[in-house]
Amino acid sequence: MAAMGGDQRQMMEDAAEDKFPEGLRVLAVDDDRVCLKVLENLLRGCKYHTTTVKDATTALKILRAGKEKFDLVITNVRMQDMDSLKLLERIRLEMDLPVIMLSEGCEKKAMMKGINHGACDYLLKPVHTNELKNIWQHVESRRNSEAIRHISRDDDDDQRSQLGTATKNNDGANTDESKESTHASSTQKKPKVAWTIELRTKFMEAINQIGLYRATPKKILELMNVDYLTRKNVLIHLQKYKLYLKKVNSNPLGDACVRWNSFMNIWESFMHNHEHERWGVSSGGSASWSPNHYGAAVHLGQHTSTEGSMSMGSLISGGTMLGYLVPQTPTMGIFSGLNEHIVPFNIPSNPRSIGMLNANINVPMAAPQFVYSDPITTVVAGFSEKMAPFNIASKMGSVGMMLNGKYAPGTGRISVAETEMVNYGRTSSALSNHQTYDFVPLTHMHDVGDASGIFHVQEGTVDQQAPSSQLNGINDLSSVGINEDFIGEDAVMDG
């Protein structure tokens, strides 16, 4: 076949009309029985291998099952069970099939939509045989461009065989063959990796172990031990993570803030120590809770000298957590996209209560007493994080924060299920001897019994050089700890 004389070409053109695309495997979808039947007959008339389905859902099921292979899908636009656009979208996302849309009348808008959503052709009812005779072109042209893609791809990575990708991955050399003869099309595209919280956590833990500046994709991958991940997947994520770090590092806004860390899907609270011009982070939120307490509730430890110091994350001066179950105010800041609700608050001096934050959009919560719920929203450097600055007055013990509106009185414990109260009643414990070498240790709070964690950096262990230089100095947040101002003495905590 490959060697076809030039003079034959003319002949072939003539013949092609009714000869070549025989056996093209077409899946026809229409919930109108009659139309479907007509379509089927026409397709059969073209000698296509035709399968009919009367709704989009089953169509999708069949395609997903992959038991039968198809070259092309023809679907009616309007259907009961599923918008054909949905179907189109799913097919585009999951498989690699040309889709032809079908409608009656000339609904231009629908047509445009279909085309814009990636339909490769749009036919009007009634369909004529000669239109169907040409549809194989879509299949063919797609194959060609795919072949080109294959050739130009540097398949260097260890693309381990993934679900259903058999044909595609292994046969870089096979393109010619598959193009011309077998048509052994694989319907499944390699799925995108979804970075679930579990994956992110593993990723962070790996980095945590290796150290950010020694962490390379390969090592991370090994530690993560997730079979379907490739080095490239990790590389991409690492890239994103580093970009994220860049953006996260500065908070010009206030003494402290809470914000949604969209990278990790957790809340973080930040505080600033004016004396030293440094920032600390803690992370938390109900979104993630792993065995080593990554993402435990938000808390930073208390400052040693309360005078003029900043701290947040712990309760309230008198040891009494007030009931914050106060009137609902819709005025809290609601932030973009996710479930961000942020209550920025000022804390007056000697407060008995502080503020809280509600991470669940479904459970609107009251602004706490000392909150002014001026919905300050400040966009941070393009990322989806927004911050709510709040000022912490001097002479206060610490700041309390609750999530989800519940806390466990007297226990001081964080119950992940329902309570995200922070450090009830007691103060800090130490996260001892963490070199502030990496970002991660700082965000990695340990829940030590009843107390909250605190960033404790032993004197002399701060290594600000290496990391900042690597991240172009943008990583100050991570390389700088809360220093000796924050004790982390175990003595302070009681168990």
Round to whole Å and give the CA distance between 463 and 479: 7
Least CB distance from residue 154 to DNA, whole Å?
7
Task: State which of positions 134-163 bind DNA (CB under 7 A).
Answer: 149, 152-154, 156
Least CB distance from residue 343 to DNA, whole Å?
23
Which residue in 219, 352, 406, 413 binds DNA (CB under 7 A)? 219
Under rule CB under 7 A, residue 195 binds DNA = yes
Round to whole Å and give the CA distance between 386 and 372: 17
Under rule CB under 7 A, residue 217 binds DNA = yes
| Choices 22-30, 238-246, 283-291, 390-398 (CB under 7 A): range interacting with DNA | 238-246
CA-CA distances (angstroms) from residue 479 to 279, 469, 482? 10, 10, 10
Which residue in 19, 44, 218, 274 binds DNA (CB under 7 A)? 218
Site size toward DNA (CB under 7 A) is: 28
Task: Please check whether residue 136 is in contact with residue 20, taking contact to mean a CB–CB distance below 8 angstroms.
Answer: yes
Task: Please check whether residue 402 is in contact with residue 409, taking contact to mean a CB–CB distance below 8 angstroms.
Answer: no
Which residue in 242, 247, 352, 413 binds DNA (CB under 7 A)? 242
Task: State which of positions 256-285 bind DNA (CB under 7 A).
Answer: 262
Under rule CB under 7 A, residue 129 binds DNA = no
CA-CA distances (angstroms) from residue 82 to 78, 88, 100, 182? 8, 10, 16, 33
Round to whole Å and give the CA distance between 479 and 211: 12
Under rule CB under 7 A, residue 210 binds DNA = no
Which residue in 35, 124, 127, 235 binds DNA (CB under 7 A)? 235
Nearest to 303 by CA among 399, 210, 200, 231: 399
Find the radius of gyration of the CA atoms of the chain.
30
The total of other beta-carbon atoms located within 10 Å of residue 90's CB is: 16
Least CB distance from residue 260 to DNA, whole Å?
11
Task: Please check whether residue 471 is in contact with residue 407, taking contact to mean a CB–CB distance below 8 angstroms.
Answer: no
| Choices 38-46, 65-73, 227-235, 302-310 (CB under 7 A): range interacting with DNA | 227-235
Strand order in the sheet with 378-379: 278-284, 266-273, 256-261, 386-390, 378-379
* Residue closer to DNA, measured from CB, 92 or 413: 92
Q: What is the DSSP letter of 481?
A: -
Task: State which of positions 359-388 bind DNA (CB under 7 A).
Answer: 384
Least CB distance from residue 368 to DNA, whole Å?
29
Strand order in the sheet with 25-29: 49-53, 25-29, 72-76, 99-104, 121-125
The total of other beta-carbon atoms located within 10 Å of residue 131's CB is: 15
Under rule CB under 7 A, residue 236 binds DNA = yes
| Choices 106-114, 217-225, 415-423, 473-481 (CB under 7 A): range interacting with DNA | 217-225
| Choices 166-174, 235-243, 446-454, 460-468 (CB under 7 A): range interacting with DNA | 235-243
Round to whole Å and give the CA distance between 107 and 9: 39
| Choices 12-20, 40-48, 239-247, 456-464 (CB under 7 A): range interacting with DNA | 239-247
* Residue closer to DNA, measured from CB, 203 or 324: 203
* Residue closer to DNA, measured from CB, 207 or 430: 207
Judged by the rule CB under 7 A, the positions of this chain that interact with DNA are: 149, 152-154, 156, 190, 192-195, 216-219, 231-233, 235-240, 242-243, 262, 337, 384
